Amino acid sequence: MAKKKADETINLDNILFKCRDILRNARNSGSFFEKRDMMLTLVFLRFIGEKFEQGVENLRRSLEDNGLDINDPDIRIAFLDDPTFKDGTRNLLPEARWSTIINTPAPELNVALDTALHSIAANDQDLKGCFVEGTFTTRNLAPNDIKKLVDEVNKISHKAFGEEKDLIGHVYEYFLKEFAVNATKEEGEFYTPHDVVELIATMIEPFDGTLYDPCCGSGGMFIQSADLVKAKRGNISRINVYGQEKEAATYRLAKMNLVLRGISHYLGEMSDSTFTHDLHSGISFDYIMANPPFNLKGWYDENLKNDPRWTDYSTPPESNANYAWILHILSHLKIDGVAGFLLANGALGDSDTLEIRSKLIQNDKVEAIIILPRELFITTDISVTLWILNNNKKGGLYHERNLRNRENEILFMDLRTWTNNPVKGESKKKVRLATEQIEKAADIYHTWQSEGTDGADYAIPELYRSVGIDEIKQQNWSLVPSKYIEFIDHDLDIDFEKEMSRIQMEMRDILAQEKASQKMLEDAFRGIGYGI
């Protein structure tokens, strides 16, 4: 089974590699963004078409199981010509179906693809505004190029690669890797790896209620969280997702992705900056998960100086948006809400954010700080931290677990040594968190939260430690885990006298061998009449 999954990934990437080369070599294929958007739109049409076809097939079987003749014209008119689905499958008019697209002659494909997009947007309110008018006719790829592209995308199928996978997210991540001229170490788009999302979701358990992501990207956080909800509780209708995304193309992609997965969502009426135009102002959420752009610059606007989101603290520094994200997230958290989000490690001890950080700690908002391994991301290799904020550390029942009072305590974890799972086949070094490691990290956190645990004595050197607020104050409100977690000096375990004796004996042996070799060489030369 494991080998099959590996083969599927290789095959999918091979298909995408061919698509990349077709677009790179095609005349008039446009910029990185236009290439990416064409690919993602094609994949969307493929997936929504496949789901429609599967929905029709399921409907046929259901009719037959109920004794109805699907060849009867009246039955076809009533049920199949304009089908209605109960599982979130979208009904498509003939011109929007993948079966129509794949059978269209090459010279007519660009027009057929834009016709399909227009039909879907005009007839499905959830997908209105998801597509750019004239995506394919504007670029007008040569018939041979667009046909080759469509034929490759036709090979990508949920049936072949697994219904549970975030395939659009995989395609998105692939093209960010292969075309990512826009990605830098500090800002730019990048897709949050599945294992990182799984870690956050496993820790904060967004099983029901409302889930918010203020910088939702392609919707990967929502997709992976929904998968966890289904695995744990079996019903994704228990959770409603809200999000916002600044980049228009990525906003459209997120809507496509969520519609395909049948996830109830509201991303606002448009793409816009979370800071300058908060589309969910005044709304609080049960859970917040986010992966904001690290150390984002250029976020500040003079109109934000007295923004209510930082009234209880102070205006975050203009140099980067790390603490603006923290305060924005906190402003949207319900009175008993929990948030898990990623930030660059610099946010743990920046001097220009000391005032905000000290108030966050004194107001008991910070629950856990977890340093993650390097090289988890494709498009950046900086070290990052998972922050968990909790508005209610007083204890009580939470997801069938009895939690203790954790006021004035913070759990610190350091996972930087968890790098023993390299990802093969990447152009740069990358590691991933295995499921067992994710479960272990979550268990450390959940055990610390639970009744019966003594926070004053909860520690394992070089891995985690529970720390009280008085000690954190003594460290000038730093949240750097290495200031609190015990790190063992393994040199202290060495018997230096014994070690020096061993080294001296080895040196004597080496010198003796060298003398013996020298003597053999001298004897050899004397034997043939040469002196040395």
pLDDT beyond 90 at 356: yes
Question: Which pLDDT belongs to residue 182?
Answer: 42
Beta strands in 179-220 (DSSP E): 209-213
User: Exposed/middle/buried for 139, CB within 10 Å: 0-12, 13-18, 19+?
Assistant: buried
Tokens of 504: 């001296």
Q: Is residue 185 in some structural domain? A: no
Tokens of 294: 């690290």
pLDDT beyond 80 at 341: yes
pLDDT digits (tens, 9 = 90+) for 16-58: 888 888 988 888 888 777 887 888 889 889 988 988 888 888 8
257 and 108 in one domain?
no
- From 141, 156, 179, the end of a domain falls on 179
Q: How confident is the model at residue 98 (pLDDT cuts 50, 70, 90)?
A: very high
200 and 170 in one domain?
no
Q: Is residue 187 in some structural domain? A: no
Beta strands in 326-399 (DSSP E): 333-344, 366-371, 384-390, 396-398
Terminal-residue alpha carbon distance, the chain: 70
Question: Which pLDDT belongs to residue 427?
Answer: 59
Side-chain-facing half-sphere of 49: CA atoms under 13 Å: 24
209 and 118 in one domain?
no
Q: Is residue 312 in some structural domain? A: yes
Question: Which pLDDT belongs to residue 470?
Answer: 97
Q: How confident is the model at residue 385 (pLDDT cuts 50, 70, 90)?
A: very high
Question: Which pLDDT belongs to residue 441?
Answer: 96
Q: How confident is the model at residue 499 (pLDDT cuts 50, 70, 90)?
A: low
- From 144, 179, 214, the end of a domain falls on 179
Average pLDDT for 298-314: 91
Q: Are strands 239-243 and 209-213 parallel, antiparallel or unpaired?
A: parallel
Supply the CATH number for residue 75's domain: 1.20.1260.30
Distance CA 415, CA 437 (A): 9
Is 416 within 8 Å of 374 (Cβ atoms)?
Answer: yes
Average pLDDT for 157-179: 63
Is 153 within 8 Å of 161 (Cβ atoms)?
Answer: no
Q: Is residue 258 in some structural domain? A: yes
CA 155 to chain centre: 25
Distance CA 254, CA 198 (A): 18
pLDDT beyond 60 at 215: yes
Is 55 within 8 Å of 83 (Cβ atoms)?
Answer: yes
404 and 261 in one domain?
yes
Question: Which pLDDT belongs to residue 127?
Answer: 84
pLDDT beyond 90 at 81: no
332 and 240 in one domain?
yes
| CA dist 475 → 349, 467, 469, 483 (Å) | 10, 11, 10, 8
With CA atoms as reference, report the closest residue to 224 among 156, 160, 169. Answer: 169
Distance CA 208, CA 294 (A): 29
Give residues with Cβ within 8 angstroms of 397, minimum separation 6: 403
pLDDT digits (tens, 9 = 90+) for 314-328: 999 999 999 999 999
**Alpha-helix residue ranges (DSSP H) falling in 205-338:** 220-232, 248-260, 322-331
pLDDT beyond 90 at 14: no
User: Exposed/middle/buried for 531, CB within 10 Å: 0-12, 13-18, 19+?
Assistant: exposed
Per cent of the chain over pLDDT 70 is 82
Q: Is residue 489 in some structural domain? A: no
501 and 464 in one domain?
no
Side-chain-facing half-sphere of 271: CA atoms under 13 Å: 18
214 and 144 in one domain?
no
pLDDT digits (tens, 9 = 90+) for 104-138: 999 999 999 999 999 998 988 888 878 888 889 99
Q: How confident is the model at residue 502 (pLDDT cuts 50, 70, 90)?
A: low
pLDDT beyond 50 at 9: no
With CA atoms as reference, report the closest residue to 278 among 303, 259, 297, 295. Answer: 303
Tokens of 325: 């994200």
Question: Which pLDDT belongs to residue 181?
Answer: 37
pLDDT digits (tens, 9 = 90+) for 464-493: 999 999 999 999 999 999 999 998 754 444
Distance CA 227, CA 89 (A): 18
Is 335 within 8 Å of 391 (Cβ atoms)?
Answer: yes
Domain count, the chain: 3
Side-chain-facing half-sphere of 217: CA atoms under 13 Å: 22
244 or 269, which is more confident:
244
Question: Which pLDDT belongs to residue 521?
Answer: 61
pLDDT beyond 70 at 167: no
Supply the CATH number for residue 388's domain: 3.40.50.150
Lowest mean pLDDT among 146-160, 300-314, 445-459: 146-160
Question: Which pLDDT belongs to residue 304?
Answer: 93
Q: Is residue 184 in some structural domain? A: no
| CA dist 461 → 71, 369, 474 (Å) | 71, 16, 20
Give the SS3 label for residue 9: helix
User: Exposed/middle/buried for 85, CB within 10 Å: 0-12, 13-18, 19+?
Assistant: middle
Is 89 within 8 Å of 103 (Cβ atoms)?
Answer: no
CA angle (354, 357, 360) in 5-degree steps: 150
Q: How confident is the model at residue 517 (pLDDT cuts 50, 70, 90)?
A: low
Q: How confident is the model at residue 217 (pLDDT cuts 50, 70, 90)?
A: confident
Distance CA 209, CA 239 (A): 5
Distance CA 189, CA 412 (A): 29
437 and 320 in one domain?
yes
170 and 202 in one domain?
no
Question: Which pLDDT belongs to residue 325?
Answer: 97
158 or 94, which is more confident:
94
pLDDT digits (tens, 9 = 90+) for 172-210: 667 656 654 344 333 334 568 888 999 999 999 998 899
Q: Is residue 399 in some structural domain? A: yes
Q: How confident is the model at residue 519 (pLDDT cuts 50, 70, 90)?
A: low
Tokens of 282: 């005044």
Is 327 within 8 Å of 321 (Cβ atoms)?
Answer: no
Distance CA 361, CA 351 (A): 15
Per cent of the chain over pLDDT 90 is 47
pLDDT digits (tens, 9 = 90+) for 436-475: 999 999 999 999 999 999 999 999 999 999 999 999 999 9
Average pLDDT for 525-530: 57
pLDDT beyond 90 at 498: no
Q: Which domain holds residue 63?
A: 2-179
Average pLDDT for 328-335: 97
Tokens of 474: 């003594």
Mean pLDDT of the chain: 84
pLDDT beyond 80 at 532: no
| CA dist 317 → 184, 295, 314, 347 (Å) | 21, 11, 9, 12
Q: How confident is the model at residue 238 (pLDDT cuts 50, 70, 90)?
A: confident
Instruction: Dump the DSSP string for 26-52.
Output: STT--SHHHHHHHHHHHHHHHHHHHHH
444 and 354 in one domain?
yes
With CA atoms as reference, report the closest residue to 29 among 116, 110, 98, 112. Answer: 110
404 and 383 in one domain?
yes
Question: Which pLDDT belongs to residue 203?
Answer: 95
Which H or E run contains 89?
A: none
Find residue 210's DSSP bridge partners. Answer: 240
Tokens of 150: 């469509």
420 and 521 in one domain?
no
With CA atoms as reference, report the closest residue to 164 among 230, 91, 242, 104. Answer: 230
Distance CA 188, CA 182 (A): 6
Q: Is residue 289 in some structural domain? A: yes
